[in-house]
Amino acid sequence: MLALRGSLRRLSQALVHQVCSPFTTGHRQQEGTFYEFCTYYLKPASVEEFLYNFKKNVHLRTAHSELVGYWTVGFGGRINTVFHIWKYDNFAHRAAVYKALAKDEDWQEQFLIPNLPLIDKQESEITYLVPWCKIGKPPKEGVYELATFLMKPGGPALWGEAFQRAVNAHADQGYIKLIGVFHAEYGLLNRVHVLWWCENADARAAGRRQAHEDPRVVSAVRESVNYLDVQQNMFLIPWSFSPLK
């Protein structure tokens, strides 16, 4: 009986920890707001044409929903790729937006139909902003890094606190600005994206070298990597019509 009570107590503590984890997206899901990560792989000869056409017609698309940022991939991923983030109040809002776009003759005729042949492949991922992070604002124009982490199964209750400490340890160094931390809801699960701003690629490289000599960063990262399976990052270049520059 004592053993059973002990097991139940440990289970209760584990559930409380899971519910109270600072990384869980539960209350974000209740609020409904989510961010769609869209990746378009363009045909190599069509990149400039596609971007010019989108720039010319971006107002038609942003009339329906909020564009957070629009970038091309500089390196670290497949080239000839554009990456953009859109904000929605909830899934009903997204469905209404896409229904309205399908009926928007200007959008269909001036951009979508002429530019579909320029796209080789499309991907979409639904993410929630983690509770302890709000969308940041860059201090000035610069470049961006999207760091993507595939964590071991177990969810934020297992790795959330360690991951948060690692992110904050880097942010505290000051050479980069944290823009957002996003947890995947639809797409590859157990995936977390961290979007950073920096002044330029060389400033980022110098800052990372210095950060890796800081014992606080080393300690936090060493703890977090125990839960890490795969990591990737991409260098992103914002376009002139991107709200995040």
User: Is 90 exceeded by the pLDDT of residue 35?
Assistant: yes
The pLDDT, as a whole number, for residue 238 is: 97
The pLDDT, as a whole number, for residue 29 is: 55
User: Is 70 exceeded by the pLDDT of residue 2?
Assistant: no
Higher pLDDT, 208 or 120: 120
Is 31-129 a domain of CATH 3.30.70.100?
yes
Confidence of residue 175 (pLDDT cuts 50, 70, 90): confident
Q: Residues of the chain with pLDDT > 90: what percent?
A: 65
Is 130-236 a domain of CATH 3.10.129.10?
no
User: Is 60 exceeded by the pLDDT of residue 170?
Assistant: yes
Q: How far is CA 52 from CA 5, 48, 69, 112, 238, in A?
A: 66, 6, 16, 13, 14
31-129 matches 130-236 in fold: yes
Indicate the domain borders of the chain. 31-129, 130-236
DSSP alpha helices (H): ranges in the chain?
Answer: 2-20, 26-31, 47-62, 91-103, 105-107, 113-115, 156-171, 201-211, 215-224
Residue 121's beta-bridge partner residues? Answer: 41
User: Is 90 exceeded by the pLDDT of residue 30?
Assistant: no
Whole-prediction pTM: 0.85
The pLDDT, as a whole number, for residue 174 is: 84
**What is the per-residue pLDDT across 52-79, written as a single tens digit (0 to 9) for each?**
999 999 999 999 999 999 999 999 989 9
Do 185 and 25 form a contact (C-beta atoms < 8 A)?
yes
Do 66 and 87 form a contact (C-beta atoms < 8 A)?
yes
